Structure 1
Amino acid sequence: MNFGYQDKKDSCQACGKSGNLRSCKTCTYSFHTECLLSPLKSSRLDNWMCPECVSPLNDIDKILDCEMRPTVAGESDAENLRSKQSLTKQYLVKWKGLSYMHCGWVPEEEFLKVFRINQHLKTKVNNFHRKMGPVRKPDEDFVAIRPEWTTVHRILSCRDHGAEKEYLVKWKELPYDECHWELESDISLFQAEIERFNIFRSRSRKISYCKQKGSVSDDAELIKQQKEFQQYEHSPEFLSGGTLHLYQLEGLNFLRFSWSKQTHVILADEMGLGKTIQSIAFLASLLQENASPHLVVAPLSTLRNWEREFERWAPQMNVVCYVCWNFPSS
């Protein structure tokens, strides 16, 4: 007899035997009541979730590391604590829905408690050891969490979270599908990125307001601006990365002149003369005239360099880097 939903497993997840089973309301697992670690109360029969679905360890996204770490015996005296220190096996885990800033160490004993009734977690641990090898010692050189993964690259959005603000964060060296919401207090070390986001948001709101009032150039006005070609005699002040060389300034004016004539061109300087910088200077000059957005298509191996140069020469530009690994065959 099965007390839960239909189409559930007909054997106990813990012992593998059939009989009087109780089915989880959220997954396909079934258990004998006597195989559960805690007694099943009759009041919970109609709304029961199995240990795998309610266990905090079920929220583990991935296991990053395993090592022998110091733990302390449960005594309050400081001298006793130092003398009782010992090493136990612990796992460094990343939690679902949380960034690498919130990873934590979980003692092996917590895993062992639920292995019998949580085969999925047991498989995850076994796969980790199969991939990583034996447990490490604390003094072994290994970086499970790269510093870039806990460094704010840019902030994408903001919302209120009670009395505190919460920011949607993109992390360095991680793709956009690994962005997370973080409390302002958790990223307080990255005030520069918060201020940069506020500047972008303020500018965006201003442009949106001006468009509603009709004070921003429309397409016809932009075409008129193109015809009124402005040549730079000196390195523009809106470039913060340094001063353009004369040949780079010539390249900038060449691109701007070609744009004013709506002519497609190729910037064909020799390698190492700063074509990337000239291109960024050109795009930054167009931004000064409210001509945006722009799309830069570049080889994968050069994307990081493009990002760095934009941050150096034109930090006022809102640069979003997208990486496409595969296109659908259709």
Structure 2
Amino acid sequence: MENLQRTTKMEEKVTGDIDLTVKPKRNIGKRMWKERYLYILLIPGLLYFIIYRYVPMAGNIIAFQDYSAFQGFLHSEWVGLKHFKTIFEDQEVIRVLWNTLYLSFLQIVFAFPVSIILAIMLNEVRSNVYKRIVQSIVYLPHFLSWVVVIGIVTILLKSNGIVNKLLESLFGMDPVPFLQDPNWFMPLVVLEVIWKESGWGTIIFLAALSGISPSLYEAAAVDGASRMQQIWHITLPALKSTIIILLILRLGSVLDVGFEQIYLMLTPFTMKVGNVLDTFVYLKGIQNSDFSFATAVGLFKSFVGLILIVGANRLAKRFGDQGVY
């Protein structure tokens, strides 16, 4: 009995020490006022997305109309899914879609891994001075516009350019029509992307590598692991989540292979293999004034990108990774 009374008193003491009352939530208005300067900093970014991303989405309604610039949005004739049906009936659209998917596949297979390999190579460099010099060199092409890059490529690869002069003087070869031969178009596009963007793509991977504890490499070295074994068993697993997230995001824009680069590279000789959805929408919508059909193609491209990114995210989660959401 005494033990029971003693236990009851201890419970009352503990209960008295703990405040079981639920405190009301802080007024959200007061909290926003207290953090008002942070919300003010959000305004420019929010305005950008509202004005340039969300408001233009209202223009997608012309994909369901026979839009006329003279009649406007409100008075143009509604035609439902007519233009979306045309996408799958028009042989030119099928060919352009194939060109886009094939070029995007080449960029994922050949250009995407280059940034990973380059980041691992830079991570293995022990001299900070040499590492910074190399990083600056590989980052530099990213800041050049595609107009400049295509201009450099044209100068190098034209019929009387430096490359053909070297091939002629060293091997006695006839000039190779790099810029006119359809077989060279997609390899050149992929090589340009690798040269221009691979260095910039290493930034995220290097940031991920900086979070690896040096003790892991030291322990592996003590166990007799070579540098390649350390890269395979420590570096690559540490990059796994970052690679998957970036690959998912890349799949979301699989139908977006870059308008400016492709448009500047196109010639009448390479139009059959080089015309992609972005250039097709421009040529069809702006030059031919078929705004409704071009908008339907653009909307279809966005829908496919959404499906791919959702599917890739679910697949990543099924294999034990976090995904992007």
TM-score by length of 1: 0.25
Q: Which has the higher contact order (CA 8 A, sep 6+)?
A: 2
Q: Which has the higher strand share?
A: 1
TM-score with structure 2 length normalisation?
0.25
